[in-house]
């Protein structure tokens, strides 16, 4: 079945590792729909979170083969239900009227820039919540969008 | 000391004897530092040849073979050789020169992103960016290339790093966090494997290149003899179990032995050691050993369940696992007898297969099968045979018995034509005490024939037997059997005169007109200690059988030529 899968990879924080990882993703003809990465462990390692569109078998094949890549410390795949995931988006709008949104949704929003051309709104939420915000803001109202892609941690890890 | 001197000193500490390669603009400081060293440079005429030589040297010697090239075209010429070593898990360290750091990304003269190019076909790549970083890069490269599942490692050194001087220290050992070359063996897995094997009614051993790599032939054989289990191998694993042993069935696969292909489908327990279940060995994955319990032993955990789902996998070095598996079995049983229904069945299949067309004695005097059988008669058991890729290689798979490990050096994973002659040079330097013969086809031979120049120049004795059918024979066979005899792009109308070709390099050239003459000339060549090319004219029409057609299961193996023109 084709669906979004999360591939979480912990690597040594040094040049070239993203290239080594994405080589395998490309080899298996997977499209990267989201990618976040940032240093962890005081700069020692880097966690990459890929959102990939592909069947389970292919994504798992990539995760397993990644364990052979010398700069990779860990690689795991997760279904959307197995992780806690958040994404940040900056949405540039011609007009922004907070009244249009409910109380709960407004808490996720933050106006970070106002200019004569429009308003830049920051939203943090699940990928679905961001999609919903863009829909409600109105397609013709949107000037541009920059999404970070999701950062995700497995649910069992937080409980442990 | 300079980065180049540090490079040479680090190589000396790795006990490197030979560097196969070619100099050029970006690695000149490295070559200059060789001037004062006792490492011998073996000049090739193409960098691909250097990589194949280093690869074969690695496969035979158990140590990493070293090749070197300049930046740009020198480095890209290495690619086929490095990919060949990668596909067959061979320890190679490739050292390339690179444009100076400040020129990176400016499309400098002979600048190629060789780290980018080679990353997919190497175990690792390193690029030391200061002279002080050179020693640890080399230590890491050798450690990674030779431990765990071996493979090629690239060290790309910018020219100004070779030139700059720095205080350098040489580490004895290096820490590489993401790299685990050895995993602790789980004793429970071994006990379970022993239970499965002892309980099995029709067990079979399946050995691959991993047995050669970990020198596990002895415990592998001991287990076979203890359980009285027949043994099959991959093409790469040929010779890890002596093929003249009564329990040997030979290789399985697309051109495996008929009895091996037949019986692997009948076993109820398969002990697969150091194999990767390649499609060329197994045919359709899902059909392979469908009803058997499969135990898979490998040093590379990413091989488990990659192509074939198995019942039990054991991570570890083959030798270590097999030694403890042997003792686990001896705690359960003493030696099994020869009188059991499975061995009776094995003998029955052997008898039945004796009459298949592929095993007939009616081959022409000068034909692949008779030539390789004659070579086996003449060559001593420890002689090393290297091959190109094509029908000659497949005839060896079927008809040439390999008796000792590390005496069969062939490109299986990548199937690289042109491997045989350079491999013979590398093998001979690794084992100067044994005869080395390259069996080639004319198509393969002409791809890297200039390795003869190196052999003559360095006075490296070897023999190249070239089966000349003036065709890309294996492709022709496929066009005959599967493409309606449409012979497109396979016939050579401009082949060289191989005798004159050899002579022009300063080697000896012979052509033979009969099997007896071939035997005489081969014996001459073995005693002459020269470089000799023996051309054997053969028919392009002689196809290789048995043949498991591509995309089919191992049960669909065809034992002889079909009656109709197109069968598959």
Indicate which residues of B carry an active-site annotation. 47, 109-110, 159, 474
Is A1's pLDDT higher than 50?
Answer: no
Considering the segment(s) B357-544 as one domain, its CATH architecture is: 3-Layer(aba) Sandwich (3.40)
**A127 CA: distance to closest CA in chain B (Å):** 32
Sort out which chain A residues have CB atoms less than 8 A from B315's CB and list them.
none
Q: Do B119 and A19 touch (CB under 8 A)?
A: yes
Sort out which chain A residues have CB atoms less than 8 A from B306's CB and list them.
61, 64-65
Q: Classify domain B187-353 at the CATH topology level.
A: Rossmann fold (3.40.50)
Sort out which chain B residues have CB atoms less than 8 A from A16's CB and list them.
115, 119, 125
**How much of chain B, in percent, has pLDDT values that exceed 90?**
94
Sort out which chain A residues have CB atoms less than 8 A from B115's CB and list them.
16
With CA atoms as reference, report the closest residue to A39 among A19, A10, A63. Answer: A10
Sort out which chain A residues have CB atoms less than 8 A from B144's CB and list them.
70
**How much of chain A, in percent, has pLDDT values that exceed 90?**
78
The dihedrals phi and psi of B172, each to the nearest 5 degrees, come to: -75, -40
Q: Which CATH superfamily is domain A84-153 in?
A: ACT-like. Chain A, domain 2 (3.30.70.1150)
- What is the value of ipTM here, to two decimals? 0.89
Q: Rounded to whole angstroms, how far apart are CA atoms B384 and B402?
A: 9
Joined tokens for residue A61: 């094949």
Mean pLDDT for B231-239 is: 97
Q: Rounded to whole angstroms, how far apart are CA atoms A55 and A57?
A: 6
**Mutation for testing the B interface, residue in A68, A71, A72, A75 having most B CBs under 10 Å:** A68
Same fold, A2-78 and A84-153: yes
With CA atoms as reference, report the closest residue to B65 among B79, B87, B80, B81. Answer: B81
Out of B119, B177, B302, name the one closest to residue A64 (CB). Answer: B302
**The pLDDT of residue B350:** 97
Mean pLDDT for B199-212 is: 97
N-to-C CA span, chain B: 64
**The pLDDT of residue B566:** 52
Q: Residue written as tokens 């470089």? A: B531
Is B48's pLDDT higher than 50?
Answer: yes
Sort out which chain A residues have CB atoms less than 8 A from B123's CB and list them.
70
Between residues A4 and B279, the one the model is more confident about: B279
Q: Which CATH superfamily is domain A2-78 in?
A: ACT domain (3.30.70.260)
Out of A16, A65, A70, name the one closest to residue B302 (CB). Answer: A65
Out of A23, A67, A73, name the one closest to residue B120 (CB). Answer: A23
Q: Rounded to whole angstroms, how far apart are CA atoms B42 and B21?
A: 6
**Mutation for testing the B interface, residue in A43, A70, A72, A74 having most B CBs under 10 Å:** A70
Is A11's pLDDT higher than 60?
Answer: yes
Mean pLDDT for B140-150 is: 97
Q: Do B176 and A70 touch (CB under 8 A)?
A: yes
Half-sphere exposure (Cβ direction) of B272: Cα atoms closer than 13 Å? 30
Is A160's pLDDT higher than 70?
Answer: no
Calculate Rg over the CA atoms of chain A.
18
Query: Tens digit of pLDDT for each residue in A34-47?
Result: 999 999 989 999 99
**B181 CA: distance to closest CA in chain A (Å):** 10
Is B525's pLDDT higher than 80?
Answer: yes
Judge whether B124 is closer than 8 Å to chain A, CB to CB: yes
Q: Do A70 and B302 touch (CB under 8 A)?
A: no
Is B148's pLDDT higher than 70?
Answer: yes
Is B361's pLDDT higher than 90?
Answer: no
Judge whether B300 is closer than 8 Å to chain A, CB to CB: yes
Sort out which chain A residues have CB atoms less than 8 A from B178's CB and list them.
11-12, 69-73
**A156 CA: distance to closest CA in chain B (Å):** 23
Judge whether B105 is closer than 8 Å to chain A, CB to CB: no
Q: Tell me the pLDDT of chain B averaged across its residues.
A: 96
Q: Do A71 and B144 touch (CB under 8 A)?
A: no
Judge whether B494 is closer than 8 Å to chain A, CB to CB: no
**Lowest-pLDDT range, B127-136, B352-361, B511-520, B531-540?**
B352-361
Each domain of chain B, given as residue ranges in start order, spans 3-163, 187-353, 357-544
Residues in chain B, total: 568
Judge whether B119 is closer than 8 Å to chain A, CB to CB: yes
Is A2's pLDDT higher than 70?
Answer: no
B80 burial level (CB within 10 Å; 0-12, 13-18, 19+): buried
Mean pLDDT for B144-167 is: 98
Query: Tens digit of pLDDT for each residue in A68-113?
Result: 999 999 999 999 899 999 999 999 999 998 888 888 888 889 999 9
Q: Do B119 and A20 touch (CB under 8 A)?
A: yes
Q: Residue written as tokens 């541009």? A: A144
Each domain of chain A, given as residue ranges in start order, spans 2-78, 84-153
**The pLDDT of residue B565:** 53
Joined tokens for residue A135: 């829909």
Q: Which CATH entry fits the domain spanning B3-163: 3.40.50.970, 3.40.50.300, 2.30.30.90, 1.10.10.10?
A: 3.40.50.970
**The pLDDT of residue B564:** 62
Between residues B360 and B82, the one the model is more confident about: B82
Q: Tell me the pLDDT of chain A averaged across its residues.
A: 91
Query: Tens digit of pLDDT for each residue in A49-66?
Result: 999 999 999 999 999 999
**The pLDDT of residue A41:** 87
Nearest residue of A to residue B140, measured between CA atoms: A70
């Amino acid at each position: 079945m084709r669906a979004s899968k999360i591939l979480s990879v912990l690597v040594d924080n040094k040049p070239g590792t993203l290239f080594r990882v994405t080589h395998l993703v490309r080899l298996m003809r997977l499209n990267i729909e989201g990618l976040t990465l940032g240093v962890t462990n005081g700069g020692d390692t880097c966690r990459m979170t890929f959102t990939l569109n592909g069947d389970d078998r292919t994504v798992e094949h990539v995760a397993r083969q990644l364990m052979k890549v010398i700069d990779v410390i860990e690689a795991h795949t997760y279904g959307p239900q197995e992780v806690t995931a958040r994404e940040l988006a900056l949405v540039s709008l011609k007009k922004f009227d907070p009244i249009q949104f409910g109380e709960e949704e407004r808490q996720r929003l933050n106006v970070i820039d106002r200019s004569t051309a429009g308003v830049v709104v920051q939203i943090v939420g699940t990928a679905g919540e961001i999609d919903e915000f863009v829909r409600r803001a109105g397609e013709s109202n949107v000037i541009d969008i920059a999404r970070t892609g999701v950062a995700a941690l497995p649910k069992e890890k937080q409980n442990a | 000391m300079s980065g180049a001197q540090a490079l040479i000193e680090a190589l000396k500490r790795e006990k490197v004897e030979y560097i196969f390669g070619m100099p050029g603009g970006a690695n000149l400081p490295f070559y200059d530092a060789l001037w004062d060293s006792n490492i011998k440079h073996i000049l090739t005429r193409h960098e691909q040849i250097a990589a194949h030589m280093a690869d074969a040297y690695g496969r035979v010697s158990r140590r990493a073979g070293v090749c070197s090239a300049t930046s740009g075209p020198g480095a890209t010429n290495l690619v086929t050789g490095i990919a060949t070593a990668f596909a067959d898990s061979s320890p190679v360290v490739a050292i390339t020169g690179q444009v100076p750091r400040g020129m990176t990304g400016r499309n400098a003269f002979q600048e190629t992103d060789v780290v980018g190019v080679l990353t997919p076909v190497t175990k690792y790549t390193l690029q030391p960016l200061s002279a002080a970083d050179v020693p640890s890069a080399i230590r890491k490269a050798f450690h990674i290339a030779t431990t765990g599942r071996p493979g090629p490692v690239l060290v790309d050194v910018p020219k100004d790093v070779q030139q700059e001087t720095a205080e350098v220290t040489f580490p004895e050992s290096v820490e590489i966090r993401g790299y685990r070359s050895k995993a602790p063996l789980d004793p429970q897995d071994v006990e379970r494997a022993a239970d499965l094997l002892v309980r099995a009614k029709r067990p079979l051993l399946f050995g691959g290149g991993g047995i050669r790599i970990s020198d596990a032939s002895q415990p592998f054989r001991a287990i076979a003899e203890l359980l009285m289990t027949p043994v099959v191998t991959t093409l790469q694993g040929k010779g890890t179990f002596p093929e003249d042993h009564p329990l040997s069935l030979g290789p399985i696969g697309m051109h495996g032995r008929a009895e091996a292909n037949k019986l692997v489908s009948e076993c109820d327990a398969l002990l697969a050691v150091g194999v990767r279940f390649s499609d060329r060995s197994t045919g359709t994955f899902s059909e392979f050993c469908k009803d058997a319990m499969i135990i898979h032993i490998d040093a590379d955990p990413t091989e488990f369940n990659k192509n074939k789902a198995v019942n039990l996998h054991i991570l570890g070095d083959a030798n270590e696992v097999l030694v403890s598996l042997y003792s686990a079995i001896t705690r359960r049983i003493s030696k099994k007898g020869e009188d059991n229904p499975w061995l009776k069945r094995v003998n029955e299949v052997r008898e039945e297969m004796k009459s298949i067309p592929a095993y007939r004695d009616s081959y022409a005097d000068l034909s692949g099968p008779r030539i390789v059988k004659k070579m086996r008669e003449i060559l001593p058991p420890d002689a090393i045979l290297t091959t190109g890729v094509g029908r000659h290689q497949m005839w060896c798979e079927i008809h040439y018995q390999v008796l000792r490990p590390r005496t069969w050096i062939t490109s299986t994973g990548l199937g690289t034509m042109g491997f045989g002659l350079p491999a013979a040079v590398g093998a001979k330097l690794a084992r100067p005490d044994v005869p080395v013969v390259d069996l080639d086809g004319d198509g393969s031979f002409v791809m890297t024939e200039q390795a003869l120049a190196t052999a003559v120049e360095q006075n490296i004795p070897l023999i190249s037997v070239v089966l000349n059918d003036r065709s890309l024979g294996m492709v022709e066979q496929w066009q005959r059997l599967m493409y309606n005899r449409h012979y497109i792009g396979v016939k050579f109308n401009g082949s060289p005169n191989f005798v004159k070709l050899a002579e022009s390099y300063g080697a000896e050239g012979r052509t033979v007109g009969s099997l007896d003459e071939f035997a005489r000339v081969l014996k001459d060549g073995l005693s002459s200690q020269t470089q000799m090319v023996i051309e054997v004219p053969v028919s392009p029409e002689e196809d290789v059988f048995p043949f498991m057609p591509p995309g089919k299961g191992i049960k669909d193996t065809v034992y002889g030529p079909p009656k109709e023109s197109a069968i598959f």
